[in-house]
Amino acid sequence: MKKTVILSSMLAALLIAGACSDTDIYSSETTRPAVGIDDESLTLDGKTESARISIASNIWWKAHVEYDGGGEWLAISPAEGFGDIEITVATERNYDLSTPKTARLVIVSDDGKGSFRKEFTVTQQTSEPYIEIDGLQSEGLAVGVTRSETPLTLYTNDAWEASTSDDSWCSVVSSDNGSGKKTVQLVCASNSTKRERSAEVTFRSKNTPGVVCSFRVNQSGIFAAPALTLAKDESGAIRLAWDAVMGAVKYMVVLTDNDGAPIAEIDNGAETACDLSAQEVFAKPEYVGLFNVSIRALSDDPEVFSNSEAQSANSHFASGAGTQGDPFIIDRDGYLRNISTANAKAAGRYYKLTYTPAPGADFEPICSPAAPFAGIFDGNGKTIEGWEIRPLADKRNYFGFFGAVAEGAEVASLNFSRCSLYISPTTAVRSIKPTTASHGWPAPTTAPSGTSPSPTARLPARPAPRRSTSEASPPTTTAPCFAAPHRAPSRRPPTATRPTNSPAAESRPTTMPRASSINASTTPRSPP
């Protein structure tokens, strides 16, 4: 409750008449000091906690409070000023049933010499006995199925007691049943009945019959299940989010494979979101392929929990089980990069490209000699155009689209057009630019200083892998696409003899691609 005391018209006239300069600054020689307040006192009821007093003056002043009884219970703001100003006085409720509170607001001139003093009385009355509980709604209070302690703010100016209609599961706990502002706890036990239940909670005055405050508390019988949302962003990251469950103390991310076998359980604490791609089970990875995920909400009671509906996805790719009939689908750059991540756990699995990559000069080759590609990759007839590669010195032994391809692995149906590879030896800069080629591009052959590169590079043929007669034949495989797969140096094709101390020999790749049939013509070219 707020009250305002308004200036009188007589005071306003006095102040106008007393002005003697353009700045209206008080001068004791020409102007009589004045501070005007309409009334000489302000009376507040016992529940009022703040009020405003409007004053006017033609002097700079300061204000303070002097008390008639014990205790400091009144605060003022501002405590100094000039001209028309509104002062706010703030207090607490008067919980004393018998004794009003009185204080004097004293205004003096700011020179500290006592040349001016004006007093204003503030009185806070007692109030009738009452009990109030802050924040209650007309429908009462709702609590969850698990055990809970709900704080209640109680206002009263009398001693009180509390009771419930069913104290077997609902009770009020307080260390102080006296008057004043109190915080009490409403304690509700876990509800194992599977049904909603309710109880009446009553606070009543010990000394004044009829002073009562009551409300109904309703407890749910069902521990709600989280509503799970699974989304994949442009990078391929898997992000989970779910709504908070009342009474839940933590959440578990539960992963299973397509057969329901457990993969992992991740303790997510009280958080309601999870970047699944960053978890060790997929980042390491410990698992690659189709999976199911659900969220388990846990309470303090081990018998009270709930599970969300399961969502399904692929751990590293757009979709697919990695079989010949249902290959891993690669439809964005993020999934293309994931081939290297998944490779160790996905040996012998099938991949299918469904978009056209546009690799840049900083493209990281798929896999490497240390961990060569071990699957079956179907390029789906896609053509990569206009790609320029400038491999760094430490990666010249596995440059290209694939860094290395293991024995028994296959790369097929991937084309390259107008692509260029630039090698910068120690003593010269040379470029090799092939004509449009299908399926593969061999590693370049750089001639020693003073010679010309071979116009044609032919690589030894690789026999096709043996397959069961009952298995459908995959697309014809030629060379690993734009790759220098892991192979012993002894398998180099015969090219121009190079001296062992040639600088150009030092930059020549030590690994060469395998191919069943590859013939990419090369021609010398000046540096770009």
CATH 2.60.40.10 fits 131-219, yes or no: yes
**At the topology level of CATH, where does 228-314 sit?**
Immunoglobulin-like (2.60.40)
Selection from 50, 36, 55 nearest residue 122 by Cα: 50
**What is the chain's mean pLDDT, rounded?**
76
- The residues pairing with 133 across neighbouring beta strands, listed in sequence order, are 154
Q: Does the pLDDT at position 401 exceed 70? A: yes
Strands 311-314, 290-298: pairing kind: antiparallel
Residue 13 has pLDDT above 90, yes or no: no
* Residue 28: pLDDT over 60: no
- Give the DSSP H or E segment for 458: strand 456-458
d(CA 69, CA 102): 7
Among the residue ranges 146-150, 382-386, 408-412, the one predicted with the least confidence is: 146-150
What are the structure tokens assigned to 418, written together?
């107008």
| Alpha carbon distance 351, 375 (integer Å) | 7
One DSSP character per residue, 57-109 reads ESS-EEEEEEESSSS---EEE-SEE-SSEEEEEE------SS--EEEEEEEEE
Is 80 exceeded by the pLDDT of residue 284? yes
With cut-offs at 50, 70 and 90, classify the pLDDT of residue 263.
Answer: very high
User: What's the CATH class of domain 4-124?
Assistant: mainly beta
Tens-place pLDDT, residues 446-486: 333 333 333 333 333 333 333 333 333 333 333 334 544 43
Confidence of residue 108 (pLDDT cuts 50, 70, 90): confident
Q: What is the pTM of this model?
A: 0.54
Interacting residues of 120 by C-beta distance below 8 A, sequence separation 6+: 37, 40, 41, 42, 53, 104, 105, 106, 107
pLDDT of residue 21: 35
**What is the Cα–Cα distance from 489 to 31, expressed in whole angstroms?**
108
Of 24-33, 113-122, 298-307, 360-369, the least confident: 24-33
Please state the domain extents for the chain: 4-124, 131-219, 228-314, 328-525
Same topology, domains 4-124 and 131-219? Answer is: yes
Place of tokens 């060569």: 372
